[in-house]
Amino acid sequence: MSNISSKSKTGGLAGVVAGRTAISSVGSEGTDLCYRGYSIRDLTKHASFEEVAHLLLRGALPTQRQIDTLGIRLQHNRELPNDMRRLLETLPASTHPMDVLRTGCSMLGCLEPEQSFEDQHIVAERLLGVFPSILLYWYHYHLDGKRIETATAAPSVAGHFLSLLHGQDPKALHEHALDVSLTLYAEHEFNASTFAARIATATLADFYSAITAAIGTLRGPLHGGANEAAMELMHRFATPEEAESGILDALAKKRLIMGFGHRVYKIRDPRSDVIKDLSSKLACADSDRRLFAVSEKIEKVMWEKKKLFPNLDFYSATAFRFMNIPTLLFTPIFVIARVAGWSAHVIEQRSDNKLIRPSAKYIGAAPRPFEPIKERKGAAS
Ligand code: COA
């Protein structure tokens, strides 16, 4: 529950077409998300996250040979330069992991700068490979004083992340669930962080600057931070009954319930059913099933009282919890996935660039005469 009011006197650009893209579409009804024409239902069933990343970055599904070589490049890109390790050790243990990724991305831009726009696919793949390593090197160093090796034999980004986090090979269901989740988070048209990346790109800034701007934009609870906030909300309730009265009370106080509602989708979020189904399969322990029952009750109350549906973040939160992923790492997982979409947008923006600089309606004071400070200090008398 957030104390932030959802009221605003401006439209937040809702409904404004701010550019053209061939990367993804929410469909004419805003109910079906497609990446380059392929429905996310098909992609989550038949493609790995790496195949989806290739699709987003290159515009077409990969051949077996292309996906094999991409896998090898991503594995190679998991290495951390020594200067990066030193930086991560210097950051305070209290740093939010999103700030770790934002700083890590910026640091990599100093260590391995983009020499020319011809390097753009190299940078995109470097970031896809390296973000789990940056995050989990920092995490283990500060949590248990370990300097971990960031190379793992895991072929997938999902397997690599879970192996580094837990120090052992992941269960097949966990790796599959995280892989699907990465696909669901990989891309979403002109959302706030992608738009931030495109604005930075349109100034002809380097790749790392665009991605750093996107990470900073994703951090807020109205955007990527909603999955962490949703988990904190669910944890407050021990039973579905407690959840029902807690949510009714929050709605009466006009509080925002994180993980519900969407700027684009008005009927349902097509990603939510996929992740809810996985979350229910992952809920094995008694405590997991209790939490899942709480989440379903919140969904029911929100629909009955507000006609609001869960967005991707709501059931992602429980799915991540059931994989024993700490809540503070939820939004960073969003970064690990969305860097595929952000990178595709950087590349697309560069291919047909124009500086993005809208106008504002001025609502300030009318022109008025300047009045100097009377008896200004040091003024000649
Ligand atoms: N909880 C409670 N009420 C909500 C709500 C929520 N999560 N989301 C929207 N509403 C209500 C608003 O209060 C508003 O009610 P009103 O008409 O009585 O004033 C109405 O629904 C319309 O909402 P609005 O804020 O205009 O929608 P928006 O398009 O500007 O906002 C979000 C979209 C996503 C920012 C908003 O739904 C939200 O803040 N959700 C919670 C954060 C979240 O989950 N973000 C992740 C998005 S993927």
Rounded distance between C-alpha atoms, residue 141 and residue 85, angstroms: 10
Check residue 346 and give its pLDDT. Answer: 98
Catalytic one of 223, 273, 277, 288: 223
List, for residues 79-94, the tens digit of each pLDDT value.
999 999 999 999 999 9
Contact status, residue 51 vs residue 62, Cβ threshold 8 Å = yes
Between 381 and 363, name the one with better pLDDT: 363
DSSP label at residue 231: H
* Nearest C-alpha neighbor of 201 from the set 114, 263, 130: 114
Domains of the chain (ranges, CATH numbers): 40-213+328-351 (1.10.580.10), 226-322 (1.10.230.10)
Supply 374's token pair: 């009377």
Rounded distance between C-alpha atoms, residue 197 and residue 191, angstroms: 10
Contact status, residue 35 vs residue 43, Cβ threshold 8 Å = yes
pLDDT averaged over every residue in the chain: 94
2, 3, 4, 6: residue to mutate for ligand 1 pocket, most atoms within 8 A of CB? 6
CA angle 291–295–300, rounded 5-degree value: 145
Q: Per-residue confidence at 31, pLDDT binned at 50, 70, 90? A: confident
Q: Per-residue confidence at 12, pLDDT binned at 50, 70, 90? A: confident
pTM above 0.75, yes or no: yes
Check residue 74 and give its pLDDT. Answer: 97
Helix axes 330-351, 120-144, angle to 10 degrees: 160
Catalytic one of 140, 160, 176, 262: 262
What is the average per-residue pLDDT within 158-177?
A: 97
Backbone angles phi, psi at 242, to 5 degrees: -60, -40
* Nearest C-alpha neighbor of 165 from the set 148, 182, 177: 148
* Residue 59 pLDDT exceeds 80: yes
* Residue 381 pLDDT exceeds 60: no
Least trusted range by pLDDT, from 28-32, 47-51, 71-75, 321-325: 28-32
Rounded distance between C-alpha atoms, residue 223 and residue 199, angstroms: 17
Supply 62's token pair: 């990969």
List, for residues 100-136, the tens digit of each pLDDT value.
999 999 999 999 999 999 999 999 999 999 999 999 9
Segment holding 149, helix H or strand E: none
Backbone angles phi, psi at 25, to 5 degrees: -145, 145
* Residue 78 pLDDT exceeds 90: yes
Check residue 48 and give its pLDDT. Answer: 98
**CB-based pocket (< 6 A), ligand 1:** 6-7, 12, 14, 222, 226, 256-263, 306, 308, 311, 313
Rounded distance between C-alpha atoms, residue 5 and residue 82, angstroms: 44
Active site includes 262? Answer: yes
* Nearest C-alpha neighbor of 141 from the set 196, 223, 85, 184: 85
* Residue 3 pLDDT exceeds 60: no
Active site includes 286? Answer: no
Contact status, residue 276 vs residue 310, Cβ threshold 8 Å = yes
Instruction: Report percent pLDDT > 90 for the chain.
Output: 86
**34 CA from centroid of ligand 1 (Å):** 23
Segment holding 154, helix H or strand E: none
Check residue 264 and give its pLDDT. Answer: 87
**316 CA from centroid of ligand 1 (Å):** 18
Can you point out the beta strands (E) in the chain? Answer: 24-25, 34-35, 38-39
DSSP codes, 58-115: HSSPPPHHHHHHHHHHHHHTT---HHHHHHHHHS-TTS-HHHHHHHHHHHHHHHS---
Check residue 5 and give its pLDDT. Answer: 46
Check residue 380 and give its pLDDT. Answer: 59
Nearest CA to ligand 1 atom 14: 6
Which residues lie below 8 Å from residue 241, measured CB to CB, with a gap of 6+?
297
CA angle 242–223–49, rounded 5-degree value: 100
List, for residues 240-260, the tens digit of each pLDDT value.
999 999 999 999 999 999 999
List, for residues 178-235, the tens digit of each pLDDT value.
999 999 999 999 999 999 999 999 999 999 999 999 999 999 888 888 999 999 999 9
What is the average per-residue pLDDT within 335-352?
A: 98
- Chain mean position to CA 149: 25
